[in-house]
Amino acid sequence: MVSSKTDARDDETLETVLSIQELIKEPLTAVPQRYIQQHDQHKPSPFSDEISAYALPTINMKKLIQGEDTEIELQKLNSACRDWGFFQLVEHGVSPAVLKTLRDEVEGFFRLPMEEKMKYKVMPGDVEGYGTVIRSEDQKLDWGDRLFMKINPLAMRKPHLLPQLPSSLRSILELYMEELQRLGMMVVALVGKAVKMEKRDLEVFEDGIQNVRMTYYPPCPEPHLVMGLTAHSDAAGITILNQMNGVNGLQIKKDGLWIPVNVISGAFIVNIGDILEIMSNGAYKSVEHRAIVNSEKERISIAMFFLPRFQSEIGPAISLTNPENPPLFKRIGVEKYVKDYFAHKLEGKSYLEQMKIHHK
């Protein structure tokens, strides 16, 4: 029965909203109600003078691994993780040619006709695929079109997602993911070293879960009314974000203020996720962040998330806890942790709260 385009639209009404790009094909005079955020979302103003003094620390990967300054750079990494939970990563070794091709291909993907992108749409009950999962009728929607996929372990890859992407996109993604896996594992090890965890505490990341989210944020006629990506902290150990077309929009919450992050061309943003907050027993904290949009430029990003293995258990590293520093978080299996995270509405750090042990 379902054959025409209109019918195809009907069967996805509640579970997913597929595309703002589709929505804005017809010139919009006003932002639809479902995208309008509560009033105070954009306050304090992200552009006040007060916060222009804040700039994200920059960590140089090359200096971290070779030469005379490794110890100094490791100290910098330690303060960046402790005080910010976020840093810019430069000299990371991923080739500019790969980044350029990736950008072209991802841009190309988001420009594909809707019918093409529908092949990857989020299925009912799933979290992977193209589109936004809707959990309630009154949920406010983000101003962004996204594709989310589990990419490691290989057995977790959904046959209709990565393997079915246009072949030129798939090949560059494979290359990029391979380079980022190498980089991500190095970053995890160095962050562990900076916080003085034992190597064995980090073994859970070997052949761990890795996910990718590509997001296309179209320009919005009334950017102050909407949110590109709702404030959240990442569930991951670490996240590596590539703001591939150089457009600003990421903001992180520091000292109660939303601080805009300036894109450094060719750099990645690395951030600590909830799992590393737990493992470091709170020494490093996952930090809330969000993405805003603007009225002129589209913005495109790709985030890669690094989590421990499915069958492993997470909890505060034994090497970091003792009677004076009791564990602040419960231990939990990764499988359950991930399942619960995705069942939960994206809302600041509320999920991590449930993991806390309250000492008197």
- Judged by the rule CB under 5 A, the positions of this chain that interact with Ni ion are 234
Q: CB of residue 302 vs Ni ion: minimum separation in angstroms? A: 12
Among 240, 291, 317, 346, binds ligand OGA (CB under 6 A): 291
| DSSP string over 304-340 | EEE---TT-EE-S-GGG--SSS---B--EEHHHHHHH
Q: CB of residue 243 vs ligand OGA: minimum separation in angstroms? A: 6
Contact of 59 with 88, CB cutoff 8 Å:
yes
Binding residues for ligand OGA restricted to 227-266, rule: CB under 6 A:
229, 234, 241, 249-250
Burial of 322 (0-12, 13-18, 19+ CB in 10 A): exposed
SS3 assignment, position 58: strand
Residue 60: strand pairing partners? 90
CB nearest ligand OGA: which residue? 301
Q: CB of residue 228 vs ligand OGA: minimum separation in angstroms? A: 7
CB nearest Ni ion: which residue? 234
- By C-beta, is 260 or 333 nearer to ligand OGA? 260
Binding residues for ligand OGA restricted to 297-336, rule: CB under 6 A:
301, 303
How many residues at the interface with ligand OGA, by CB under 6 A? Answer: 11
Contact of 34 with 138, CB cutoff 8 Å:
no
Six-digit token string for 4: 């025409």
- Site of tokens 């992180």: 252
Q: CB of residue 200 vs ligand OGA: minimum separation in angstroms? A: 29
- Residue 354 burial (CB count, 10 A): 11
CA-CA distance, 211 to 128, in Å (whole number)?
Answer: 10
- By C-beta, is 16 or 211 nearer to Ni ion? 211
- By C-beta, is 180 or 317 nearer to ligand OGA? 180
Contact of 284 with 236, CB cutoff 8 Å:
no
Contacts of 346 (CB under 8 A, 6+ apart): 230, 232
- By C-beta, is 78 or 301 nearer to ligand OGA? 301
- Residue 65 burial (CB count, 10 A): 15
- By C-beta, is 201 or 234 nearer to Ni ion? 234
Binding site partner of 223, from ligand OGA, Ni ion, none, Cβ cut-off 5-8 A by kind: none
Among 88, 181, 211, 215, binds ligand OGA (CB under 6 A): 215
- By C-beta, is 250 or 275 nearer to ligand OGA? 250
- By C-beta, is 237 or 327 nearer to ligand OGA? 237
Contact of 286 with 234, CB cutoff 8 Å:
yes
CA-CA distance, 35 to 141, in Å (whole number)?
Answer: 5
Binding residues for ligand OGA restricted to 261-290, rule: CB under 6 A:
289
Under the criterion CB under 6 A, does residue 63 sit at the interface with ligand OGA? Answer: no
Under the criterion CB under 6 A, does residue 338 sit at the interface with ligand OGA? Answer: no
- Residue 325 burial (CB count, 10 A): 12
**Which residues here bind ligand OGA, judged by CB under 6 A?**
213, 215, 229, 234, 241, 249-250, 289, 291, 301, 303
